[in-house]
Amino acid sequence: MGYGIHNGRIQTWALEAHIVDHCNLRCVHCCTLSPQLAPRVVEPSTLARDLTALAPVLAPQVFKLTGGEPLLHPGIVECLQLARESAIAPVLQVTTNGFLAPRMPDEFWRVLDRICVSLYPSAPLPDATLGLILQRCEDFDVELRLKPAPRFQRMDAITPHADAAEIFNGCWLRHRCHMVRDGRFFLCTRPPHLADVHGRPQLADEGVELRGGQLQRRLLEYLTAEKPLESCRFCTGSTGELEEHRQLETARASRPVS
Ligand code: SF4
Ligand code: SF4
């Protein structure tokens, strides 16, 4: 897939920032591996620094704040305001399971363009909460997207692939799920999460460092590279089997084979 450039900015589908890693749910096959990660809260100043570096050279159609469960971030309104100030994207979205929406102040709804609420059969959102979200979206002219997720795709490879070329080549996530995290731009959300879960810190380096010169050139080279990431060895990309959505029952999530 090629990437166009307009006014010096690489045109992309979307960019995500996972502002927390923890969540109030524990979905089996959570694609961000939230149940297996330690709690983590992104500093708003770190997010602002990264978006300020990226905005002159990257133009995603939408910027998504997600997690984990992003509404658990105590400074989510500040994160949203900083994202707006960065002008990284014309649409500002929060992707959430919705349970904590009743806690959100007016400022949260005022700065948002869109909220995407994932609906899980194993953890149904109370009707009253959904009703409140609908009302707030109407009051503040926020676009609401409801995303039923009756099945989840297994994304963790049961055993690491010897050669991940096929997985990588067929993976649509590498074009649609770009992520910024801790001073790096990633092709997808997996490398830093897999690094933590597998105890392989080198995987967290599989992104473009935002510091330094020639950022647009380095991003383009990374986006169009034909070689799989090392992280792809531990991932099913978009080929994993679908399973009924369910919650983990154990107190701690077990770690995958590495
Ligand atoms: S709600 Fe989302 S982030 Fe939380 S465990 Fe489920 S899939 Fe993961
Ligand atoms: S790690 Fe590789 S296969 Fe998995 S989502 Fe990212 S690019 Fe796709």
| Residues 134-151: tens digit of each pLDDT | 999 999 999 999 999 999
Q: What are phi and psi of 20, to 5 degrees?
A: -140, 160
Nearest residue (by CA) to ligand 1, atom 3, is 68
Angle at 112 between CA 106 and CA 118, to 5 degrees: 100
Residue 251 pLDDT: 54
Query: Is-contact 219 132, C-beta < 8 A?
Result: no
Q: pTM, whole model, 2 decimals?
A: 0.94
Residue 158 pLDDT: 83
From CA 72, how far away is CA 69, in angstroms rounded? 6
Report the percent of the chain where pLDDT is more than 70.
97
In three-state secondary structure terms, 89 is coil
Any ligand 2 atom below 6 A from CB of 188: yes
| Core vs surface per residue 218-255: b (16+ CB within 10 A) or e | bbbeebeeeebbbbbbbbbbeebeeeebbebeeeebee
Predicted confidence (pLDDT) per residue in 23-55, tens digit:
999 999 998 999 999 999 999 999 999 999 999
From CA 21, how far away is CA 148, in angstroms rounded? 22
Spans in the chain with pLDDT lower than 50: 253-258
What is the pLDDT of the chain when averaged over all its residues? 94
Pocket test for ligand 2, best of 198, 232, 233 (most atoms within 8 A of CB): 232
Question: Domains, the chain, ranges and CATH?
Answer: 9-244 (3.20.20.70)
Residue 249 pLDDT: 83
